[in-house]
Every structure is written in C-alpha cells, then in structure tokens.
Amino acid sequence: MSKTTVKQKKEGLFSRKYLRYLLDPINDINPITVQVLGICSALAVTVKLEPAVVMAIAVTAVTAFSNLTISLLRNTIPHRIRMIVQLVVISSLVILVDQILKAFAYDVSKQLSVFVGLIITNCIIMGRLEAFAMGNKPWPSLLDGIGNGLGYGAVLIIVAFLRELFGSGTVFDIPVIPQALYELGYVNNGLMLLPPAALITVGVIIWIHRWLNPKLIDVS
C-alpha cells in the first residue's frame, strides 16, 4: 500500500504527458476524422476560408473553457442532471461568442448564420465533456479542450482551403489562380461550392489520413 502512495514527482505544466493531451487530438484521435464528432458545422462553414477560421477559433474557445468549467465543477454536479448542467455552461459560452462576433465581425457572423448557435450541439464539446472533463483535473481538461479544438480547426481549414481554391480560385478572397490559366480554358469547379463537395473532400481526407496512419483503419 505504502508503495502506491509514494509522492509522485511534481510535473511541469508542459511535461510530456500533458503535451500529449494537447497533441493527440490533432492526429491520432482527431475529433472529425477519428472520433466522428462535430461533423455538421465542419461541412457547412467551409465554402470559404474566412468563416472557417473564425469558426475554428470560436469552437476552440468554447471547448477549452467548457472543459475547464465542467472540470472545476465535476465533483459537485449530480450525475442525473449533468447533461442540463453541461448544456447551460456550453450555451452561456456560445452566447458570449455570438455577441462578440456580432460586435466585432458582423459580416462573418451573418455568413455563419445559425451555425454559431449550433456550436452548442456540436458533439465535440459534449463528447469531450463526457469523456474527459468529467473525470480529469482542470489543467489537463483545458489542454484537451484546446487540442480538440485545434484538431477540429485543422480539418476545417484544410477543407475550406481546398474548396475555396478549386471552387472560386481564391484564398482568403485573394485570387491565386493566374489569369493566363483561365485564358487557356481553365474553369472553376462550381461543384466544390455545393454541399456534396464538402462531404467528398472530408471523405478523401479521411481516406488519406487512414492510409498514412494504418492503425486507424476500421476492422469491420
């Protein structure tokens, strides 16, 4: 008994163990391509890069702070009503994000329309609260929240970049495809701007991701 209670060496805030919480969600347990969480918004806001970047930041902020809050409250929340408590925390944070966006980035907030509100039901947040924050200390929870937000944001930005590049020939609204190419007969692919293209892009990203990282392949 006494052996197990030996005082552990104090860990630094960014020790290897903690860093894993931050970095794992970006590759091995990426929320979108592996955990299949938060797909809805990932697909809907990726027609252009700008809303995608804003969305990624918003979701990262909400996951990080809701993870932190729930982790601080985890010992006081009665098990049966935990869902309601989680939803109240998340929606208060989302109201904050929404008001900030409306105040400082009104155009983007109009483009995102209902999808800012839908951050509340973004499964990444609930999923991480249930799976991680309810059973871990505040600091790892905060890191896990940031990590998952970044993993989500990474996929979002890749998809948005590809869709904007091939769909409208621009990156951040700056034309990048040279005029000469258009004169040769190159045409923007209008399908990339339509909803199904987002699904195909994510499907292909998952394909490549699993091909590079074979331990993720579905056995079934």
Question: Which residue from 47, 55, 64, 198 is in contact with other proteins, where contact means CB under 8 A?
Answer: 198
* 156 close to 45: Cβ distance less than 8 angstroms: yes
CA distance 104 to 35: 33
* Contact window for other proteins (CB under 8 A) among 14-22, 61-69, 169-177, 195-203: 195-203
Which pairs count as long-range contacts for 86-92, CB under 8 Å and 24+ apart, including other chains?
86/126, 86/129, 86/130, 87/120, 87/126, 90/62, 90/66, 90/119, 90/120, 90/125, 90/126, 90/129, 91/120
Measured in residues, the chain has a length of 220
Nearer Cβ to other proteins (34/171): 34
Looking at residue 173, the DSSP 8-state letter turns out to be T
Q: Of 131, 176, 181, 199, which one interacts with other proteins (CB under 8 A)?
A: 199
Rounded to a whole number of angstroms, the CA Rg of the chain reads 20
Angle at 127 (CA atoms; ends 139, 160), nearest 5 degrees: 95
The distance of closest approach from Cβ of residue 114 to other proteins in the complex, given in angstroms and rounded to an integer, is: 4
Work out whether 176 is an interface residue with other proteins (CB under 8 A): no
- Near other proteins by CB under 8 A: residue from 111, 121, 136, 170: 121
Q: How far is the CB of 152 from other proteins (least distance, A)?
A: 13
Q: Which residues, 6+ apart, have CB-to-CB distance to 112 below 8 Å? A: 45, 51, 54, 55, 101
Total binding residues for other proteins by CB under 8 A? 48
Residues 41-60 that bind other proteins (CB under 8 A): 41, 43-44
Candidates 12, 17, 28, 40; binder of other proteins (CB under 8 A) is: 40
Q: Check binding of 103 to other proteins (CB under 8 A).
A: no
Kindly list the residues in this chain that would bind other proteins in the complex (CB under 8 A).
33, 36-41, 43-44, 83-84, 87-88, 91-92, 94-95, 98-99, 113-114, 117-118, 120-123, 126, 194-200, 202-204, 206-211, 214, 217-218, 220
